[in-house]
Amino acid sequence: MDWLLYALVALLWPSPAPPAPPGQGVTIPLDPLASDQSGPLPRVTPARGDNPPLVVIDAGHGGQDPGAASPFTDRPEKDITLAIALAIRDALAASGRVRVAMTREDDRYLVLEDRYAIARRLDADLFISIHADAAPENDRARGATIYTLSEVASDREAALLAQRQNAADRVGGARMSPDPNVNLILIDLAQRESMNVSAEFARLLYREAAPVFPFRPDWHRFAAFIVLKAPDIPSILFESGYLTNETDAAYIDSAAGRREIAEGMRRAIEAHFARRGLRRGAGA
């Protein structure tokens, strides 16, 4: 989509600084006050080939934030999400087609902005946040759900982001302008492309995983989750099942359940990158 961004810049902004060549986007601080941009980056598992794509797996919650509790298992959501995330990481690493990094590999607290900031600093191609649902008032609710960023949330975030950028920043490979109005268009385009790719990945994941484990009837939902707000990285939040449903809780907290979820994820992630022919740093 870079050509489209540049075409728009040329139309709207007669004498722009030359656009950066694709693939040389640098990580920008989305909100320097809210997130740590200088901390150590997590390790990245290797993969075969030139510039294999990079997926960041985010185990929801952690440390002082236990997430949801279950009446059916002693383990809080933060432990269950970490175990599932590690299983996905291991399945991808064993297959060796994509590189993987985790936002956390142990029981530690991360603010939400730091989670996608890690993905942006690593120039990741896909961001997946793992969670487990809870519906204390309805113990029959069960099944997995895939969330992507809602339209309203993305509009609001793009407007805020446009105000915060400076000329040295880039989103989706496009250099930011001193003019917030131009930035709004650039960020909006990058965000829209990311939302399209996120929805495409959501459909692939459903296709690969629904034969293996249950999804909710309305398996694709939209929300303003903070972790989904990187404007230039396709992102999903995966609710693996309900901790408040006995069958779901037993499944997502079992070795067999983790293995099947990890396998569905691995197939979907590899199919996603194979389909897109995406290379690391080749633009959104």
Nearest distance from C-beta of residue 78 to Zn ion, angstroms: 8
Please report, for residues 40, 201, 223, the alpha-carbon distance to residue 143 in angstroms, rounded to integers and kept in the order given: 36, 18, 18
102 token code pair = 């985790």
Rank residues 69 and 159 by Cβ distance to Zn ion and give the closer one.
Answer: 69
Q: Residues 16-55 vs Zn ion: string with x where CB under 5 A?
A: ----------------------------------------
Rank residues 53 and 60 by Cβ distance to Zn ion and give the closer one.
Answer: 60
Rank residues 131 and 280 by Cβ distance to Zn ion and give the closer one.
Answer: 131
- Among positions 29, 53, 60, 231, the unique one binding Zn ion when judged by CB under 5 A: 60
Instruction: Tell me how far apart the alpha carbons of residues 155 and 191 are, in angstroms, rounded to a whole number.
Output: 9
Rank residues 67 and 172 by Cβ distance to Zn ion and give the closer one.
Answer: 67
Nearest distance from C-beta of residue 6 to Zn ion, angstroms: 39
- Among positions 52, 67, 172, 173, the unique one binding Zn ion when judged by CB under 5 A: 67
Nearest distance from C-beta of residue 257 to Zn ion, angstroms: 17
Instruction: Tell me how far apart the alpha carbons of residues 7 and 56 are, in angstroms, rounded to a whole number.
Output: 31
Nearest distance from C-beta of residue 61 to Zn ion, angstroms: 6
Q: Which stretch binds Zn ion (CB under 5 A): 1-9, 61-69, 117-125, 151-159?
A: 61-69
Contact 130, 84 (CB under 8 A): yes
Of 39, 283, 1, 252, the residue nearest 143 (C-alpha): 252
Q: Which stretch binds Zn ion (CB under 5 A): 24-32, 125-133, 190-198, 241-249?
A: 125-133
Provide Rg for the chain, Cα atoms.
19
Instruction: Tell me how far apart the alpha carbons of residues 284 and 281 are, in angstroms, rounded to a whole number.
Output: 8
Rank residues 213 and 273 by Cβ distance to Zn ion and give the closer one.
Answer: 213
The SS3 assignment for 176 reads: coil
Rank residues 6 and 225 by Cβ distance to Zn ion and give the closer one.
Answer: 225
Instruction: Tell me how far apart the alpha carbons of residues 191 and 253 are, in angstroms, rounded to a whole number.
Output: 34
Nearest distance from C-beta of residue 237 to Zn ion, angstroms: 8
The DSSP code for 227 is G
Q: Which stretch binds Zn ion (CB under 5 A): 66-74, 142-150, 176-184, 217-225?
A: 66-74
Amino acid found at 86:
L
Contact 242, 135 (CB under 8 A): yes
Rank residues 54 and 252 by Cβ distance to Zn ion and give the closer one.
Answer: 252
Nearest distance from C-beta of residue 205 to Zn ion, angstroms: 18
Instruction: Tell me how far apart the alpha carbons of residues 146 and 137 are, in angstroms, rounded to a whole number.
Output: 21
- Among positions 104, 131, 175, 229, the unique one binding Zn ion when judged by CB under 5 A: 131
Q: Could you count the other beta carbons within 10 Å of the beta carbon of residue 148?
A: 25
138 token code pair = 């309805």
Nearest distance from C-beta of residue 83 to Zn ion, angstroms: 14
Residues that bind Zn ion (CB under 5 A): 60, 67, 131
